[in-house]
Amino acid sequence: MGSLLRIRGFQLLLLGQFLSLLAPWTQRTLVLIWVYALTQSGTGVSFVGLAEALPVVLLATIAGVFVDRWSRSRTMAFVALCQAVIIWPLVFVTTAQQWWIILVVTFFLSVAGQFFNPAAAAALPQIVRPEAVVQANGMLQITNSVVPILAPGVAALLYASIGPHKTVFLLAIVYLLAVPVLLRVPAGKATIASVQSSSLGKEMVDGLAYVVRSRLLLSLTAFAFVALLGVGGLSVLDVVFVTRALHGRSEDVGALLTATGIGQLVGGMFASAIASKWRNHYHRWLAAGGIVAGLATVLYALSPSLLFAAVALFLCGLALPSVLVPFFSMVQLTVENSYMGRVMSLISTGITLATIISLTVAGTLTDHFNVRFVIAGGGLLFFIAGIVALLIIRPPSLSQPAAGEYPSAAPDPVATPVAR
């Protein structure tokens, strides 16, 4: 772990991703509280989730092509700059009739994000060597888990103390702080010739064919589809659960999201520590994480109190790195650098379709049925996804990367000194 932290590029990626996650997480919690306060409707908060998910379906495959054409560091920095501008219309929301502005802003923030996520995923194998990718993902998960700890509580506190409009101003500043950091991440364009295909359409088809030819990538996408079909729409229902099932205030959702973040932080530390011991068994690690997270979600649905719910979400958060770290590591260790952006985007498209279905169904169901039943059903699907992973995911040996998959100039995680 210490050797990775001595790589200057990895330091910058850690910090840049932290800032680039802090603002969206805080903004997301803010708008969920805001929209529910304006609409008092589970359907209303589901629309927020749909506004986040639709750009993935509409743009992800196209975005992946450009991520493979462009410098990954400049792409991430430009996205952060765009998001700092896009968020400003939120200051004009003053009445319940204007809540649609929140949806429009959320939609375009997600549009920009479709270029950030595949660029960040593609940058990591350019910064560290293949044998360090899994541990690096574990460390990224640790850093990224700090955000769910901080952001929900901060968003709820800012909403209650200074109001949503001043909070928007602070979020724009955080986005801007990320720009110079991300520009310095040493992750440029993919250098392999296949990136230079003659047309956008041909590159999209090539990326799709690459995924279809891989049993591993298809299996991972199937797992993610089932998992997100269950829980993809549940994240926007926390505020509904707090107010209707636990009879609390909408601001109390910050405590639950923070509990999830603490669990993810502890789980990320565990995942980073055991990464090397689970080599060639990442599919079992992934399946175990899905099973535990699904059961914890069911416990959350049955919670009799805010404290019990926080403990259940802590357990769910604890299990999530055991899903995310092996999932993304298997992709990064088997996909060629020149296809990484397209593959990540295509996988995102598939699982986002499941998320949209989940969002559409979950929000509507909570307006007609007990929210506990809706959340418990989602947890059961996540549990089933873990069982599916045990049955269908059979990864190849990850001990040796395929020739040409990683840039020969990737820095040595042990030998690279820290630039001062």
Q: Is 411 within a domain?
A: no
Q: Would you tell me how many other CB atoms lie within 10 Å of the CB of residue 261?
A: 24
Block residue for tokens 């700059």: 81
| Lowest model confidence (mean pLDDT) among 29-33, 181-185, 227-231, 403-407 | 403-407
Confidence at 179, pLDDT banded by 50, 70, 90: very high
pTM score of the predicted model:
0.67
Q: Is 194 within a domain?
A: no
First and final C-alpha spacing in the chain? 20
Q: Is 402 within a domain?
A: no
**230: Cβ contacts below 8 Å, ≥ 6 apart:** 294, 297, 358, 377, 378, 379, 380, 381, 382, 384, 385
Q: Is 401 within a domain?
A: no
| Domain tally, the chain | 1
The DSSP code sequence of 311-372 is HHHHHHHHHTHHHHHHHHHHHHHHS-GGGHHHHHHHHHHHHHHHHHHHHHHHHHHHTTS-HH
Residue 195 to residues 43, 203, 383, Cα–Cα distance (Å): 42, 8, 38
Q: Please give the pLDDT value at position 163.
A: 87
380: containing domain: 8-188+199-392
Q: Please give the pLDDT value at position 329.
A: 84
Give the angle 396-401-405 at the CA atoms, nearest 5°: 120
Query: Would the CA dihedral through 305, 308, 312, 313 be positive or negative?
Result: positive
CATH of the domain at 184: 1.20.1250.20
Q: Is 397 within a domain?
A: no
Q: Please give the pLDDT value at position 405.
A: 39
Answer with the residue of higher pLDDT: 386 or 147.
386
Residues above pLDDT 90, as percent of the chain = 21
Between CA 118 and CA 344 the distance in angstroms is: 6
Q: Would you tell me how many other CB atoms lie within 10 Å of the CB of residue 414?
A: 12
Q: Please give the pLDDT value at position 289.
A: 93
Residue 255 has pLDDT above 70, yes or no: yes
Mean pLDDT in residue range 329-340: 83
For 218-233, the pLDDT digits (tens) are 899 889 888 988 887 7
**Mean residue pLDDT across the chain:** 81
Q: Is 90 within a domain?
A: yes
For 283-296, the pLDDT digits (tens) are 889 999 999 999 99
> Which tokens belong to 57?
């379906």
Q: Please give the pLDDT value at position 55.
A: 81
Confidence at 299, pLDDT banded by 50, 70, 90: very high
**184: Cβ contacts below 8 Å, ≥ 6 apart:** 12, 73
Q: Is 413 within a domain?
A: no
Residue 276 has pLDDT above 90, yes or no: no
Between CA 106 and CA 199 the distance in angstroms is: 31
Answer with the residue of higher pLDDT: 181 or 148.
181
| Lowest model confidence (mean pLDDT) among 198-202, 301-305, 381-385, 410-414 | 410-414
Q: Is 302 within a domain?
A: yes
